[in-house]
Amino acid sequence: MSWFPFFIQLENAPGLLVGGGQVALRKAEKLLSFGPKLTVVAPEICPELAALEGPNLTLCRRPFCESDLAPLPAFVIAATSDPAANRRIAALCRERRVLVNVVDDPSACGFYFPALVQRGRLTVGISTGGASPTAAAWLRKKIEALLPEGFAGLLDRLEAKRAAVKAACPGEESARAALLRAEFQQELAALSVPEMEQPGRVALVGAGCGKADLITVRGLRLLRRCRAVVYDDLIDPELLAELPAGAETYYVGKRSGCHSAAQEEINALLVRLARQGGLVVRLKGGDPFVFGRGGEEALALQKAGIPFEVVPGISSAIAIPAEAGIPVTHRAMSREVHIITAHTGPGKEPDYRRYAGLEGTLVFLMGLARLPQIAQGLMDGGMSPDTPAAVLSGGSAAHPAAVRAPLAEIAHAAQTAGVQAPAVILVGKTAELRLI
């Protein structure tokens, strides 16, 4: 059966979503940007969906009943975990001639959710008639890769020019159409060509620290267009799902104490992949230039004559404390922040005493194994044993933890709590704050 793709106005349209789990969450997230008034009915509602409650989403924590269909909504989504309940809802909707979508049951659906490509005013809906959502997602990524950056702005500019073109050619349909085509071609020529069509280049992209949605918009755009990606440990797997079909993936580890590839090997890999053409993304946790060795990779690319760009990311030095409710700076408490690596070059023993006189907040990265030496060194340098300190593991870490204690006790407290790497160490007044 063929399905006709209507584009409808959903602004303020009443919609009913039955179900409160992750599937219902995805449906709500897709719809809410189009402005409907959604009512969610379910005995239990997951926290992420509950967090969306507001003017356009109302929560009813109870089972579905037929009265939920009066007055009639514009559409209904049956997204419970009970297939029989979903089919009952679909039958009630068909009796009332209300459009219904039933998750994972194409034969019961009156409409499907398309895979969407959105660029401002542009919306492309893709459907396989329920045959293969995976195929629809593949095609979506292909279309996204083909769209040049700035396409949304192009549409806005063309709309603004339409009135002038119509005024210049009143009653002359063919002349007006020719002018509009010329305007489009001129605007299109001014846009950047998608990276897949350009010669070899590398983007050093900071993935942020933690969940996939902490990556920047620019970083995600590049990831969706790349030919190959070279990625580190602790990268959220959801980011790899954003790759175009057929993109090459290269895992190079890069976790403290268990590197799976030497830095020189990674540098050589980036150069080799770039010389094969297309866009290569070097996906790094946190920020490439905050103890991420991105500078070494940039120098290697520069030496090899490979064009590259750097896309900043949210560093663990800031993100992990923020996740625990600790600001690294705070007025009247810390007007400075110092980010320090606990690692040194081969054969060198770090002298932590020299950091004791610094003002503000000290942030130590890659230092959990040296925590006793860090604390003792700071106290030997004159820092008070009562100085607030914290050891934090979060983001994509397998064992999140947040331990707070005075400097003299922090190593023992972290060991007792079983904190595991990777972890961030904070020393300073803000370490005692809990702003969550």
In Å, how far are 133, 296, 339 from 139, measured between CA atoms? 10, 37, 43
The whole-number pLDDT of residue 244 equals 84
Percentage of the chain surpassing pLDDT 90? 64
Q: What is the pLDDT of residues 357-410, one digit of tens each?
A: 999 999 999 999 999 999 999 999 999 999 999 999 987 777 889 999 999 999
Residue among 296, 274, 302 at smallest CA distance from 284: 296
Query: What is the distance between the terminal CA atoms of the chain, rounded to a whole angstrom?
Result: 52
Active-site annotation holder among 27, 141, 236, 254: 254
Residues 132-161, mean pLDDT to the nearest whole number: 83
- With residue 133 as reference, give the H or E element that holds it: helix 133-146
d(C-alpha 326, C-alpha 403), whole Å: 12
- With residue 310 as reference, give the H or E element that holds it: strand 308-311
pLDDT bin (cut points 50, 70, 90) of residue 196 is: very low
Residue 69: exposure state from Cβ atoms within 10 A (0-12, 13-18, ≥19)? middle
Taking 50 as the threshold, does the pLDDT of residue 80 lie above it?
A: yes
Residues 168-183, mean pLDDT to the nearest whole number: 76
pLDDT bin (cut points 50, 70, 90) of residue 197 is: very low
The whole-number pLDDT of residue 345 equals 62
* pTM to 2 decimal places: 0.61
pLDDT bin (cut points 50, 70, 90) of residue 198 is: low
232 belongs to the catalytic site: yes
Domains 14-113 and 318-432 share a fold: no
The whole-number pLDDT of residue 260 equals 63
Q: What is the pLDDT of residues 261-307, one digit of tens each?
A: 899 999 999 999 999 999 999 999 999 999 989 999 999 999 999 99
Active-site annotation holder among 232, 236, 284, 287: 232
Residue that wins the pLDDT comparison between 116 and 413? 413
Phi-psi region of 325 (alpha: psi -120 to 50; beta: other; left: phi over 0): left
DSSP 1-17: ----------TT-EEEE
Taking 70 as the threshold, does the pLDDT of residue 259 lie above it?
A: no
> What is the dotted CATH code of the domain comprising 318-432?
3.30.950.10
d(C-alpha 196, C-alpha 95), whole Å: 50
Residue 269: count of CB within 10 angstroms of its CB: 18
- The length of the chain, given as a count of residues: 436
Structure tokens at 296: 């070494």
Residue 394: count of CB within 10 angstroms of its CB: 21
Q: What is the CA radius of gyration of the chain?
A: 27
254 belongs to the catalytic site: yes
Structure tokens at 7: 């584009």
pLDDT bin (cut points 50, 70, 90) of residue 426 is: very high
The whole-number pLDDT of residue 234 equals 83
> What is the dotted CATH code of the domain comprising 14-113?
3.40.50.720
Residue 261: exposure state from Cβ atoms within 10 A (0-12, 13-18, ≥19)? middle
- Per domain, the residue ranges of the chain are 14-113, 151-190, 196-314, 318-432
The domain made up of 196-314 is a member of CATH 3.30.230.10:
no
Taking 60 as the threshold, does the pLDDT of residue 193 lie above it?
A: no
Mean pLDDT of the chain: 89
